[in-house]
Structure 1
Amino acid sequence: MRSTEQPILRDIVLIGGGHSHVGVLRMFGMKPWPGVRLTLICTDVHTPYSGMLPGYIAGHYSYDEVHIDLGRLCAFAGARLVIDEVVGLDRQRKKIMCKSRPPIAYDALSINIGSTPQTLTVPGAAEWAVPVKPIAQFNQKWLALLDRVKSHEGADTIAVVGGGAGGVELTLAMQHRLRAELRTLGRNPDDLTFNLLTASPCILPTHNPTVRAKFEAVLQERGVHVHCNAEVTELRPHGSRKTLVTDTGQELAVDEVMWVTQAGGPAWLKSTGLELTEQGFIRVGPTLQTLNDPDIFAAGDIAHFEASPLEKAGVFAVRMGKPLVNNLQNWVEGARLDDYQPQRTWLALISTGDQFAVASKGAIGFWGAWVWRWKDWIDRRFMAKFNDFPDMSATPPTAASSPQVALSQEESLQAISAIAMRCGGCGAKVGSTVLSRALGALRPVERADVLVGLHAPDDAAIVKVPPGKAMVHTVDFFRAFVDDPYVFGRIAANHALGDIFAMGGEAQSATAVVTVPPGLEAKVEELLFQMMSGAVDVLNDAGCALVGGHTGEGKELALGFAINGLVDENLQGVMIKGGMKPGDAIVLTKPIGTGTLFAALPQLKTKGRWIASALQSMMVSNRLGAECLRKHGSKACTDLTGFGLLGHLVEMTKPSEVDAELFLDQLPLLDGALETVKAGIVSSLQPANVRLRRAIRNQAAFVDDPRYPLLFDPQTAGGLLATVPADQVDACVTELKALGYVNTRIIGRVMAQSDALEPVVLKG
């Protein structure tokens, strides 16, 4: 999350959070390239380190110990993190097609997504087997299996398909963990049966005979049934179990099947036109560039190194990180790229599940508990590089060490203009050509009462007020606090619409005010398109037409909206802050904590999943929640924003002439908010909000409660704070949760106004 005066000149996009790309991100964070923006697209906010995954399955490591937090890593690198699934490439337009958002533009692209077990080639495997990759989905299935074994729900016979190092390690790790769990529960661990199947004549076919013999002995000692020359040809259900069928006609009844073989590339690569192997891997040359597109690189398991095909081993992905980042920098500079030189032999440390490991390198093999400790030391040292980041704020890159971006003559003129002193007034507006291209693809919802809208050439919009309606006006504006412009656009629109919904209104039209940093026209256009696409998605869902706006240049990205809404002219169904009644229950529809979490983000004091969860909460619209509250008799409502929970509650008690009892232990909190506020990290607006502590009658009794500071935490796109009649509140909360507001809580009750000056009383 570093700001820079340098305009963005090139976009490098990384698809996948594999071992090569995490190395690129870390190196970029240590020495960023001015003018280059890095974006990571990944389906998950955490990426597993394959070397420690068997130890996690065996129970020796926690989830966080074996996963790299991509949120923190991207924050350190100053890179944008996009959580989405890639479904295709448009190489001609240089766009990445995503499942849930508009296409993302790139100048250079790198793909490091690992390999995917090809279950589709075996009938029934896609439906009845659990592939070990992608790891995030496998982890969910593994935890479910763990629970079934603990509860004795028919998971006694387990088969692992794949006799390489991955299959052997997984088998022994699972067996160790599950047997230990059964012992803890007082059950017989011998009730579990494990089968390992491989199409090869032996297990570990790429390792030396000494290592192979050792693992054959370990598997035999552990009672694992090994089936060699047994290619699985079919998997079919049989009652509550599954039947594995091999090419020899053998049928094996099992409860669970883990699939660790026949890896290949994902289906979407086939439509890209890139040169692929028969298994779907991307063919790359010595520079890690794809054979038929020099602007696209690939590394790790997904890459097929044409000069000398490599084994699908994590060691190669890790080692590719440095040459990949060097060649991306050379690409930016327009310089000659270097050849990647893979090592001829490598050390593999393969664990047996019980803190014992075997070392394998070429013809050498040795083992022992000390080898596992050695492996543990190596793995922890590797992970420390992605958990303990140096403070780079005081060490900006020097001109001598920074790459010089190769630009065309036209781009050079635009870059000089972007860096130079810009005009003020109307001279600071974004050019009409850029604006028309960026906004031309937007399709605001059409409304009959919008007579002149966004795509008309006129100077202003014309909107009709329907008969029997009155207008509600509101405006919000703030600078970007998240690097993904599409997500920021969604949140900004949600935040602005909140005031309309909180009053029980219908959103009718919106006018945008946008500030974008100056830069190359293509970059400004892409930024505007991404941000306004996110905003229009939210506005359209609310039935609110974007009718116009103003776009200017400024130092930071910022977005706001003036929203017009409609209510009944006689104010029927309107909810106002002054509508609280004694005896009403106080309801909150979303968890709080955005202020402290996003204050902690640039300090690298958060977890990626905390930020992802907070962003997801901010992107939930309040529209359906407001309709539900009105349906259940709410007369008082507001949306939580900058003044925090206490500030907005006091805003409601004063005009209502009531007091409020607030249940501190019932406050819904965003994941991580308690941890960051305990660490003393608060929003810059927090001190101003804390002045309202004088509104708490018994604040001295709760000032040391860890949740107390969150009363003052400013919210962005927060939930609805409302009162509901006591006889309807339970039904209201049930319906709100069913509508998607899963963290809805009854957080207090309204009391008659007392003689005390302080209107709010806290309860434990």
Structure 2
Amino acid sequence: MHIPPLPRTRDLVLIGGGHTHALVLRKWGMLPLAGTRVTVINPGPTAPYSGMLPGFVAGHYDRAALDIDLVQLARFAGARVVLGAVQGIDLDRREIHVPGRPPVGFDVASINVGITSAMPEMEGFADHAVPAKPLGPFAARWAAYLAGTGPARVAVIGGGVAGAELVMAMTHALRSRGRAAQVTLIDRARVLAGLGPRATQRIRQAMEGLGVTLVEGVEIARITAKAVELADGRRIEADFVTGAAGARAYPWLTETGLDTVDGFISVDACLRSSDPMVFAAGDCAHLTDNPRPKAGVYAVREAPVLYDNLRAALGAGHPRPYCPQSDYLKLISLGGKSALAEKWGRVFAGPAMWRWKDRIDRTFMDRFRELPQMGQPALPELHSAGLSEALGDKPLCGGCGAKVGRSALRAALAPLPGAIRNDITPLPGDDAALLSTGGVRQVMTSDHLRALVEDPVLMTRIAAHHALGDIWAMGAEPQAATATVILPRLSPELQQRSLTEIMAAATEVMRAAGAEIVGGHSSVGDELTIGFTLTGLCAQDPITLAGGRPGDVLILTKPLGSGIVMAAEMAGQAPGTDVAAAYAHMTTDQGAAARILTTARAMTDVTGFGLAGHLHGICEASGTGAEIALDAVPLMAGALALSEAGHRSSIFADNRMLVPELPATGAAALLFDPQTAGGLLAAVAPDQAQTCLAALIKAGYPAARIGTLTEKPGLRLAR
């Protein structure tokens, strides 16, 4: 008996991808709570692990070693990812505000956004310095500075453990590269005042051995482009200034209406804020009953408690308190591959401590890189012939990867009778038809996609741009749209939240394109599907597949690879940064590109049948062949590496059969990759190609000249 998927009834939203939330997501993937829709909101697709920052700054780790991949982690946990920085929470409406998208509704929320070391009150800091936290922007700025040449002048503000680790790591890195370095650590009080005397003495000796200058007991007057000016009149020359002076809460936390202490969210022993359905953990939280220092060890140990208490708030189990330890092991990097360990006043230092710290850090990060792989469920012992082959060995792709193959599609459409109305002009091979109404020419098309992302807003934007591609490809201006939405099984509250998000996103995209949504239809099914039927107005004859001529230049407006990247993402194997870049390409508006290409002789949008299949369609309709300059074809970040690792979209094999004369190895395999909301492929007269290409690049499109149409039939690669 078929058992339908269980409906989702509650929204859990995790704000921030800090250590606590990362561990909660991992645990959720191992043991999810049925009926809960989980969302994680983070500014980017990765979350850095601060414990390895000194090692990165010193040059012991590369940048990627610090990153927890939230896209892969969310896929494992069955969660949706929203990329953006939260700016506020409306407790009355139970909504979280993220710029550039509709509010995210919640029933239970948790905040784990860390801290910042920005010092807006210090004159010149915002213009001439970079805070050490958040880590991502700091790491990028430091890497760029370290890559420079000549003498270095660095100043670190804040003489706590974080500042001491940074200043030693920076000095080690600069001198390892042969750069003369003047490095200064500045504190208004005494450096390392919070540590025990034995640890303080050993670290001060380490800094002295590296040649770090300590400036203590003095206020900073201002920061300029070339120096840190002190209140006593001294001037410390510096062209890289960073701040690691204590913990500062993000300003928006105080505007939520939640109780705070010094800007940090007050929480009880169960990590609940003054609103019992809003939790907080890590450095952004203040433990009211048992205040603790801002240290990653507490965030890590809060994770299992937070996991249990979130489940309790959602209706499963009972809350339990978090009982922090009174002291914790401090492992402090000393610049090179040496570290100091301190606990209960006992101190040990040397290379062995570094190896211990390195092993602890790598073990922690491996928890997110070695996620258990969930295989497909076993088939019933008794099943019909061909079921195993039809199921395949990979999950069914979403987007255009879920299309029916062209061979099956053509076979199904071939027996249908031709049009019987004289106001409809079929356009063989094109995805739209030409309608004539009262002297006005319209094109009409319909497209829908099986969801390839969990976020309904992002999926709507992808589906809308995908559907608009057929209108733009014919040189028409989008006019009207109807929306078709199939929602997965949700409670009435979650249905309303999802539809509100979907329609807000759809309206935004369509109006930006010049179209208006005039209606639609919604229903409930096993999974999210979003589609649009569109009309467009033609001021001139529509651009079809049939106008190409030998010698025409082929121009592509977007890179290839979305099918492979999304197939790998479904398998939990695509790097989150590559996935985020693919999302950006799939939601890039092509209206301006279409207007630039209005003189094209033939044009199509590259979607489900891949570049080779859609170019084959132009050649077939135009009576030409084509030559592709493979090295000139733009590819999405990571797509080639994922392809060579064996990742393929569901429809790849069908697409390969359309153009068997082309190779399917190396970069050529990307020619058969189905694209979702792909680029426009235009055949342009040779004397206009350079002008069009220059205009596309000036407009911000990653467009490229990828080949030419030829008299000789068939597709081939240029030599």
Q: Could you state the TM-score of these two structures normalised by the residue count of structure 1?
A: 0.84
| 1:393, distance to aligned residue in structure 2 (A) | 4.8
Q: Give the one of 313, 317, 320 matched to 2:295.
A: 313
| Equivalent residues of 2:196, 2:345 under 8 A apart | yes
| Equivalent residues of 1:208, 1:365 under 8 A apart | no
Q: Residue 609 in 1 paired to residue 577 in 2? A: yes
Residue aligned with 1:126, SS: helix
* Paired position in structure 1 for 2:403: none
Q: Residue 289 in 1 paired to residue 272 in 2? A: yes
What pairs with 1:321-360 in structure 2 (closer than 5 Å)? 321-333=303-315, 335-360=317-342
* Paired position in structure 2 for 1:169: 165
**What amino acid is aligned across from residue 648 of structure 2 in structure 1?**
V
Q: Residue 530 in 1 paired to residue 501 in 2? A: yes
Q: Distance in 1 between matches of 2:630 and 2:709?
A: 15
Q: Distance in 2 between matches of 1:66 and 1:28?
A: 22
Q: Residue 223 in 1 paired to residue 211 in 2? A: yes
Q: 1:599 to 1:35 in 2, by over 3 A?
A: same
Q: Distance in 2 between matches of 1:466 and 1:137?
A: 55
Q: 1:317 to 1:395 in 2, by over 3 A?
A: farther
Residue aligned with 1:722, SS: strand
Long gaps (5+) in structure 2: 379-434
* Superimposed CA distance per residue, residues 310-335 of structure 1 (whole angstroms, 9 cap, x where no aligned partner): 11111111111111111111212265
* Paired position in structure 1 for 2:192: 204
Q: Distance in 1 between matches of 2:41 and 2:327?
A: 32
**What amino acid is aligned across from residue 214 of structure 1 in structure 2?**
R
Residue aligned with 1:72, SS: helix
| 1:36, distance to aligned residue in structure 2 (A) | 1.0
Q: Give the one of 620, 625, 650 matched to 1:654.
A: 620
| Equivalent residues of 2:81, 2:454 under 8 A apart | yes
Q: Could you state the TM-score of these two structures normalised by the residue count of structure 2?
A: 0.89
Q: Distance in 2 between matches of 1:465 and 1:490?
A: 30
* Paired position in structure 1 for 2:30: 30
* Paired position in structure 1 for 2:682: 722
| 1:234, distance to aligned residue in structure 2 (A) | 2.1
* Paired position in structure 2 for 1:566: 537
Q: Residue 270 in 1 paired to residue 266 in 2? A: no
Q: Residue 233 in 1 paired to residue 221 in 2? A: yes
Q: 1:733 to 1:143 in 2, by over 3 A?
A: farther
Q: Distance in 2 between matches of 1:173 and 1:466?
A: 72
| 1:711, distance to aligned residue in structure 2 (A) | 1.2
| Equivalent residues of 2:607, 2:678 under 8 A apart | yes
Q: Distance in 2 between matches of 1:394 and 1:618?
A: 28
Q: 1:4 to 1:44 in 2, by over 3 A?
A: farther
Q: Distance in 2 between matches of 1:383 and 1:231?
A: 38
Q: Give the one of 630, 638, 644 matched to 1:678.
A: 644
| Equivalent residues of 1:207, 1:362 under 8 A apart | no
**What amino acid is aligned across from residue 35 of structure 1 in structure 2?**
G
Residue aligned with 2:666, SS: coil
**What amino acid is aligned across from residue 188 of structure 2 in structure 1?**
A
Residue aligned with 2:120, SS: helix
* Paired position in structure 1 for 2:416: none
Q: Distance in 1 between matches of 2:696 and 2:283?
A: 45
**What amino acid is aligned across from residue 638 of structure 2 in structure 1?**
G
| 1:465, distance to aligned residue in structure 2 (A) | 8.4
Percent sequence identity over aligned pairs: 39
* Superimposed CA distance per residue, residues 143-197 of structure 1 (whole angstroms, 9 cap, x where no aligned partner): 22123x33x4xx621100011111111111112112222x3xxxxx3x2200000
| 1:467, distance to aligned residue in structure 2 (A) | 6.7
| 1:738, distance to aligned residue in structure 2 (A) | 2.0
* Paired position in structure 1 for 2:183: 194
| 1:613, distance to aligned residue in structure 2 (A) | 0.6
* Paired position in structure 1 for 2:563: 595
| Equivalent residues of 1:115, 1:133 under 8 A apart | yes
**What amino acid is aligned across from residue 195 of structure 2 in structure 1?**
H
* Paired position in structure 2 for 1:39: 39
Q: Distance in 1 between matches of 2:376 and 2:361?
A: 30
| Equivalent residues of 1:327, 1:337 under 8 A apart | yes
What pairs with 1:406-555 in structure 2 (closer than 5 Å)? 468-555=439-526
Residue aligned with 1:493, SS: helix
Q: Distance in 2 between matches of 1:12 and 1:657?
A: 56
Q: Distance in 2 between matches of 1:395 and 1:124?
A: 59
Q: Residue 214 in 1 paired to residue 202 in 2? A: yes
* Paired position in structure 1 for 2:399: none
Residue aligned with 1:617, SS: helix
| 1:671, distance to aligned residue in structure 2 (A) | 1.2
| 1:251, distance to aligned residue in structure 2 (A) | 2.6
* Paired position in structure 2 for 1:628: 596
Q: Distance in 1 between matches of 2:376 and 2:521?
A: 36
Q: Distance in 2 between matches of 1:336 and 1:657?
A: 71
| Equivalent residues of 2:483, 2:533 under 8 A apart | yes
Number of residue equivalences: 661
| Equivalent residues of 1:85, 1:100 under 8 A apart | no
| Equivalent residues of 1:30, 1:392 under 8 A apart | no
**What amino acid is aligned across from residue 366 of structure 1 in structure 2?**
F
What pairs with 1:3-18 in structure 2 (closer than 5 Å)? 5-18=5-18
* Paired position in structure 2 for 1:256: 240
Q: Give the one of 692, 695, 700 matched to 1:735.
A: 695
Of the structure 1 ranges 668-677 and 87-96, higher mean CA displacement relative to structure 2 is found in 668-677
| 1:216, distance to aligned residue in structure 2 (A) | 0.8
| Equivalent residues of 1:200, 1:228 under 8 A apart | yes
Q: Residue 761 in 1 paired to residue 716 in 2? A: yes
* Paired position in structure 2 for 1:98: 98
**What amino acid is aligned across from residue 663 of structure 1 in structure 2?**
A
| Equivalent residues of 2:4, 2:526 under 8 A apart | no
* Superimposed CA distance per residue, residues 44-77 of structure 1 (whole angstroms, 9 cap, x where no aligned partner): 1111111111111111112221111111000111
* Superimposed CA distance per residue, residues 202-254 of structure 1 (whole angstroms, 9 cap, x where no aligned partner): x22222111111111111111110111123232234xxx13x23344433222
* Paired position in structure 2 for 1:404: none
* Paired position in structure 1 for 2:84: 84
Two-structure CA RMSD over aligned residues (Å)? 1.8
| Equivalent residues of 1:74, 1:81 under 8 A apart | yes
**What amino acid is aligned across from residue 241 of structure 2 in structure 1?**
V
* Paired position in structure 1 for 2:396: none
Q: Distance in 2 between matches of 1:729 and 1:168?
A: 58
Q: Distance in 2 between matches of 1:601 and 1:118?
A: 35
* Superimposed CA distance per residue, residues 561-615 of structure 1 (whole angstroms, 9 cap, x where no aligned partner): 11011113xx44x321111122221111101111111111121111111111111
| Equivalent residues of 2:443, 2:471 under 8 A apart | yes
Residue aligned with 2:87, SS: strand
Q: 1:395 to 1:751 in 2, by over 3 A?
A: closer
Q: Distance in 1 between matches of 2:376 and 2:314?
A: 25
Q: Distance in 2 between matches of 1:115 and 1:317?
A: 12
Q: Residue 113 in 1 paired to residue 113 in 2? A: yes
Q: Distance in 2 between matches of 1:231 and 1:343?
A: 34
| Equivalent residues of 1:158, 1:195 under 8 A apart | yes
Q: Distance in 1 between matches of 2:675 and 2:617?
A: 15
Residue aligned with 2:368, SS: coil
| 1:723, distance to aligned residue in structure 2 (A) | 1.5
Q: 1:392 to 1:688 in 2, by over 3 A?
A: closer
Q: Residue 711 in 1 paired to residue 671 in 2? A: yes
| Equivalent residues of 1:163, 1:198 under 8 A apart | yes
Q: Give the one of 659, 683, 687 matched to 2:653.
A: 687
| 1:468, distance to aligned residue in structure 2 (A) | 5.0
* Paired position in structure 1 for 2:707: 748
Q: 1:544 to 1:482 in 2, by over 3 A?
A: same
* Superimposed CA distance per residue, residues 263-321 of structure 1 (whole angstroms, 9 cap, x where no aligned partner): 2111212221111122x11111111111x211111111100111122111111111111
| Equivalent residues of 1:29, 1:76 under 8 A apart | yes
Q: Distance in 2 between matches of 1:737 and 1:628?
A: 11
